[in-house]
Chains A and B, each alone.
Chain A
Amino acid sequence: MSERIGLEASHAAAEAARMADVDVIAAYPITPQTHIPERLAEMVANGELDAAYIPVESEHSAMSTCVGAAAVGARTFTATAGPGLEYMHNVLYVASAMRLPVVMTVANRALSAPLSIWGDHSDAMSVRDTGWIQVFCQNSQEAFDMTLWAFRVGEDAGVLLPVMVHLDGFHLTHVTEPVILPEQEEVDKFLPKFHYPFALDPDKPMTLGAFAPPDVYSEAKVAQEVALRKSKAVVIKGFEELGDIFGRYYHPVEPYKTEGAKTLLLTMGSFSETAKTVIDAKKDRGESVGLINLRLWRPFPFKELRQAVKSAEILIVFDRCISFGGPGGPVSSEIRSTLYDEKQRPKVVSFIGGLGGRDMSAKDFEYVIDRGREIAENGSEELYETVGIRGKVTDIRG
């Protein structure tokens, strides 16, 4: 029987890596990711997990070591946060382009300067185009489920791509919540053994990572792009299999009480749970509102998103990242682009908040929805509004 226990989200992610019988963990400590590698190191030290725990000297080497280990066919896991993700940026492209299904938890953290150990999505957005499959989690249970799912999808013979599982730093990584842990047999049923078809082997010599002259490079990159887009079928199949075995069903785009709602709020990650309480309260007051939790970030779920918002009049998009000098928050700008060609589409209003660990309370989300409706009706000269910022902000214009 599966058991329901209190588990910190970080430990839930580590538990999933353990139950996946991961072979190699290469990690470098960075707040707020530390509880993940610490727990894994403890499991290895206590014989609960038979894996090579490699305490590398940097995040750059963490990802490089994962790349090497995956290239010999090892199931490989790492975790990082904010500046650590930036430091391994270069290697992220290599992992995806070389089709190495590394799984990584990102404890989302703000980027310096000023230094902030607290959470936002600047790190996630900066690695948007690295070719990884990426999902966001709302709670500890999802931290467990999505980590396990990441191995299932990334290692699928028709996918072979690395997967990033985003957990909001502190707001989620350090929160203890009830988690239902499955039996090992259920996990084994969900997650087949990893067989990497291009493993480095002296008995079958292969050249991996050769360089591409201009007459080859474009074809290589387009093939990679097609692979990532095609992975969506396995992404969804993985969600379905997870649901069938564990009883929890996930979707690329998750509408919450959106039926007939005129105004929708779109959030990602753990803040979606706070936003849901606001939707509940507003619904009780008879307001026509609903929420969209965007789970799958890459490959972007165009079809599902268009379907989910097509009947709404207003779509308020909440970003935890500034695209400096750009068209608003990265998520809102992608949503606008997704809807641009639609005949029937909601008016998109953009908010940015929760930067560097700034909390977004229920009251703040109430404000976002109320103010969002106001902007949709009356218009605004500003491209977006930053929630709760002190002092008057002007001239954020296109």
Chain B
Amino acid sequence: MEGQSIKFGKNFVTTEEFLAQGHTFCTGCGEALALRLACKALGRHVIIANATGCTEVCTSPLPVTSWRVPWIHTLFENTAATASGIEAGLKILMKKGKTPEKNIKCVAVAGDGGTTDIGIQALSGAFERNHDFLYLCFDNEAYMNTGIQRSSATPYGASTTTAPAGKLSIGQTTWKKNLPEIAVAHNIPYVATASPGYPFDLMNKVKKGGDIKGPAYVHIFSPCPTGWRHATDLAIEIGRLAVETGIFPLYEVENGRYKLNIDRPKLKPVEEYLKTQGRFRHLLDEEIEKIQEHVNEEYAKLKAKVACFST
């Protein structure tokens, strides 16, 4: 089953699949694509700890599984803690000679709810304790598996089932929680954002995060046709538009040093991104303007951080 490497420009990608076909992700799911690419980047020498959520439910209905790498799911809120045990357990067993020495990376996989809401305490603890693990957050910006309920990663103005747009509400009334920045605040060696719209950038970051010693965090933008109400052939395009408008910039923070991976001289207007999705359909010009201002401001802040390290 060993795969070959196929060359795409300057990038090599294995033909081997670690997330097998037969899973039950929705048609056009951005998360499934990103996960598949992430697994290719990581290879076979991993143990995956998966939080409850779309990924878990779509890949592991007993008695079948889509996983060709060792995989464990326990609960929703504790994935970083489960990963802590896997990492520390393997390390001590190898040190004591109870398990043969092998290079195995522990990778935690969770959605935005499992990361930015219910799992944030376990994640913060695992970062602080400096476990050697990679955490991948697949951010589809709401509790999609349970039926599109808002999370703290839901963007301002999006309509969800628990923050619906109505006569008195625009839907989500708070700004998206910035989890990559929270990860950076833990002074971990590697934090990055990625999008399936930029597959090689995504794979390179996941690989880098897997190779780095210590905690690494990659926040992966995961377009969701079901929850965002966009056409099923648009995940890649929306993944790119989010970057091109500055809504979801692609950057890395290596040992505290910021680097913008895609830096466009001029951002596209946010409206181009918002209009692709039914969840923003109700927004009036003034709200779109407010979002534009916020994006401009956040992007400028990010650029300033990048500038700190470019001199």
Contacts and interface: CB of A to CB of B under 8 A. Distances in A.
Contact of B92 (A24, A61, A210, A212): A24
Contacts of B125: 56-58, 61
Contacts of B88: 24, 26, 52, 54, 65, 69
A54 B121 CA distance: 15
B266 interface: no
B155 to A, nearest CB: 29
Interface stretch (A143-151, A198-206, A306-314, A342-350): A198-206
A56 B69 contact: no
Nearest to B63: A216
B122 A74 contact: no
Interface in B31-62: 44-47, 49, 56-57, 60-62
Which of B88, B96, B102, B129 has the largest number of chain A CB atoms within 10 A? B88
B89 A24 contact: yes
A202 B124 contact: no
Nearest to A55: B129
A339 interface: no
Given A64-B85, A69-B86, A216-B63, A57 B128 contact: yes
B73 A211 contact: yes
Which of B49, B83, B92 has the largest number of chain A CB atoms within 10 A? B92
B75 interface: yes
Contacts of B86: 68-69, 71-72, 200
Contacts of A66: 85
A202 B69 contact: yes
Nearest to A24: B89
A74 B61 contact: no
Given A68-B72, A207-B71, A212-B62, A60 B95 contact: no
Contacts of B70: 200-202, 204-208
A56 B92 CA distance: 17
Given A23-B98, A69-B86, A70-B85, A202 B74 contact: no
Nearest to A209: B73
A66 B85 CA distance: 6
A68 B129 contact: no
B91 interface: yes
Q: Chain B contact residues (Cβ within 8 angstroms of A): what range?
A: 35 or more
Contacts of B63: 210, 216
A57 B67 contact: no
B78 A202 contact: no
Nearest to B52: A211
Nearest to A206: B70
A159 interface: no
Interface stretch (A90-98, A128-136, A293-301): A90-98
A61 B108 CA distance: 14
A287 interface: no
B301 interface: no
Contact of B75 (A57, A71, A94): A94
B99 interface: yes
B148 to A, nearest CB: 20
Contacts of B65: 207, 210
B73 A210 contact: yes
B89 A68 contact: yes
Contact of A202 (B44, B83, B89, B122): B44
A205 B73 contact: no
Contact of A64 (B69, B71, B82): B82
A266 to B, nearest CB: 36
Interface in B212-236: none
Nearest to A26: B85
Contact of B122 (A23, A50, A60, A208): A60
A267 interface: no
Contacts of A70: 85, 89
Contacts of A206: 70-71
Given A64-B122, A207-B60, A210-B65, A51 B81 contact: no
A52 B82 contact: no
A17 interface: no
Nearest to A102: B85
Contacts of B182: none
Contacts of B77: 60
Given A58-B125, A205-B68, A69 B89 contact: yes
A202 B47 contact: yes
Which of B60, B70, B81 has the largest number of chain A CB atoms within 10 A? B81
Interface in B98-153: 98-99, 102, 104, 121-122, 124-126, 128-129
B83 to A, nearest CB: 6
B195 interface: no
Given A72-B90, A210-B60, A64 B78 contact: yes
Contacts of B44: 202, 205
B249 to A, nearest CB: 30
A91 B74 contact: yes
Nearest to A93: B75
A178 to B, nearest CB: 32
B61 A57 contact: no
A68 B92 contact: no
A24 B96 CA distance: 12
Contacts of A193: 98
A223 interface: no
A67 B72 CA distance: 10
A67 B75 CA distance: 11
Contact of A73 (B57, B81, B98): B98
A23 B98 CA distance: 10
A68 B85 CA distance: 4
Nearest to A90: B75
Interface in B153-199: none
A76 interface: yes
B218 to A, nearest CB: 20
Given A72-B89, A98-B74, A202-B104, A65 B47 contact: no
7 closest pairs, A vs B, by CB? Answer: A68-B85, A57-B125, A69-B89, A64-B81, A64-B78, A61-B81, A69-B85
Interface of B: 44-47, 49, 56-57, 60-63, 65, 67-75, 77-78, 80-93, 95-96, 98-99, 102, 104, 121-122, 124-126, 128-129
13 contacts: A24-B88, A56-B125, A57-B121, A57-B124, A58-B121, A64-B75, A65-B82, A67-B85, A68-B86, A69-B88, A69-B89, A71-B85, A73-B89
Given A209-B60, A210-B63, 4 more contacts: A23-B92, A68-B89, A72-B99, A212-B62
